[in-house]
Chains A and B, each alone.
Chain A
């Protein structure tokens, strides 16, 4: 539903040229929660701001529902923007308006009549859990409440797309979770396509269906979240994943393990129902290897379970080969970290 083709943005000043994003091509399906992750300065914010042309791309194409945003006149672009909601890291609420009037703002801009505005705002307040805050000014709200106003405001004109520019980066972990839950709820209830810019893999892990990793102005990697988490290709993606699923073993432990004869260290990753299989017991029983658990974790990747297990396997080369065969049959992703 959203297609970005060969998008490039170059900032030129008298002194130099900075390429913020280079030749970005993305296809974002209807109803996706599409995470765009990158380090600060990677270009991810520029990318999202190019989608509604808050930032004018240098070249490339942007299609939303097959409408080419780059071909639009100023007037057409304003009409199109009414159907693209956006929320921000620092909320950007109007300080001189109450919560009610902030949510009413985009409706006023779009030319809704007074009673329609009243009715729509009354629908939105309970959706974001702020029924009792209608007449309060933003300065009296907490960060999480401010973002809820931001979300209600962004949803007021029933957009098809919601752009989130670091929407949870200014919030504490608890509040971040509640905002993510709200976004997931909205995504499921209204089929809204959400694009989330973030530098936190935690955010991607919680709610995204797809992810693109941006590094130094280019896309390093993209795909469904499960695929990227299980089999990251780029170094940068691996680094991001290790922030939520740490997998480095302490160096002194590795050195000590290296002295063990006939042993190897393997990392096994599993997804979904596989997480409940008793693989260690089976390994020991069927392949006659000894398995020593070094590290294990299990967590949610959106709604599916995602686990990592780092084992030391001890046995003869034949036994170890048998063990690998067994693991491959189970369709588990196995990675040998250290041979001995």
Chain B
């Protein structure tokens, strides 16, 4: 049915898939970065405000935790539609790759907050106490103890977050966000081009493999215990 041996077939595929892959990368990188910009402070606040930590505050912890849980319970596909007015207010449109980044960030940031929270909770409290006994301020504890000590775990978290964002970009693609997801739906599903669907899957699998290996390798290099 498809002439895989024909060089022209591959030319077409490259022309179709290269920009789509580029769009997917753009969404992944931008969303992950922005999700961390929001998620890291949230995760830090969750940890330090918890009982028996450096700045315990049950109200902050409870309210922030609830908000995060609410956002995490909304299925991505629904969030995508739900925040269209917000997306339009920020980007000017709700269609396209850049517009897709808004719901991607909104849905990933709470996830990142929880990932960061669990990484930071791995830092033994004794080490934090030692730093307190030397006269560290809360900010110094965050900057010089919590984040550096949790570095390896945080990097693994980045890999997990990035990979879960890849899944969401495909969904965003289905509703006009562009990228490999859009190609897979438009060609693979609507036009019965199973070959194109498979190629997008292969590319996605490769991206996931590379990111996970990279994450594991970096984390291992950072681990000193």
Q: Which residue of chain A lies nearest to B128 when distances are taken between CB atoms in the complex?
A: A92
Q: Which residue of chain A lies nearest to B140 when distances are taken between CB atoms in the complex?
A: A109
Q: Does B62 contact A (CB under 8 A)?
A: no
Q: Are A110 and B149 in contact (CB-based, < 8 A)?
A: no
Give chain B's interface secondary structure class.
Answer: helix
Interface string of B187-223 (1 = CB under 8 A from A): 0000000000000000000000000000000000010
Q: Are A137 and B224 in contact (CB-based, < 8 A)?
A: yes
Q: Are A94 and B129 in contact (CB-based, < 8 A)?
A: no
Of the candidates A81, A88, A157, A163, the one whose C-beta lies within 8 Å of that of B126 is: A88
- The segment from B27-35, B131-139, B175-183 that touches chain A is B131-139
Which residues in B have their C-beta under 8 angstroms from that of A52?
133
Known: A109-B144, A137-B224, A139-B225. A93 touches B133 (CB 8 A): no
Min CB gap B154→A, angstroms: 11
Q: Does B96 contact A (CB under 8 A)?
A: no
Which residues in B have their C-beta under 8 angstroms from that of A81?
132-135
CA gap between A108 and B140 in the complex, in Å: 10
Interface string of A28-39 (1 = CB under 8 A from B): 000000000000
Q: Does B127 contact A (CB under 8 A)?
A: yes
Q: Does A86 contact B (CB under 8 A)?
A: yes
Q: Which residue of chain A lies nearest to B224 when distances are taken between CB atoms in the complex?
A: A137
Give chain A's interface secondary structure class.
Answer: mixed
Q: Are B129 and A82 in contact (CB-based, < 8 A)?
A: no
Which residues in B have their C-beta under 8 angstroms from that of A79?
135
Min CB gap A94→B, angstroms: 6
> Which residue among A54, A78, A82, A138 has the maximum number of chain B CB atoms within 10 Å of its CB?
A78
Q: Are A86 and B130 in contact (CB-based, < 8 A)?
A: yes
Q: Does B142 contact A (CB under 8 A)?
A: no
Q: Are B225 and A94 in contact (CB-based, < 8 A)?
A: no
CA gap between A78 and B144 in the complex, in Å: 16
Q: Which residue of chain B lies nearest to A87 when distances are taken between CB atoms in the complex?
A: B130
Q: Are B135 and A92 in contact (CB-based, < 8 A)?
A: no
Interface string of A88-105 (1 = CB under 8 A from B): 101011111100000001
Q: Are B135 and A78 in contact (CB-based, < 8 A)?
A: yes
Q: Are B144 and A105 in contact (CB-based, < 8 A)?
A: yes
Min CB gap A89→B, angstroms: 9
**CB pairs A–B below 8 angstroms (5 shown):** A54-B133, A94-B149, A95-B127, A105-B144, A137-B224
Since A81-B134, A95-B127 are in contact, a sample of 10 more A-B pairs with Cβ atoms closer than 8 Å, ordered by chain A residue number, is A54-B129, A54-B132, A81-B135, A82-B134, A93-B130, A95-B224, A96-B224, A105-B144, A109-B140, A137-B224
Q: Report, nearest first, the 7 A-B pairs whose CB atoms are least far apart.
A: A81-B135, A92-B130, A137-B224, A106-B134, A82-B135, A78-B135, A86-B133
| Chain B residues in the interface with A (C-beta under 8 A) | 124, 126-127, 129-137, 140, 144-145, 148-149, 151, 222, 224-225
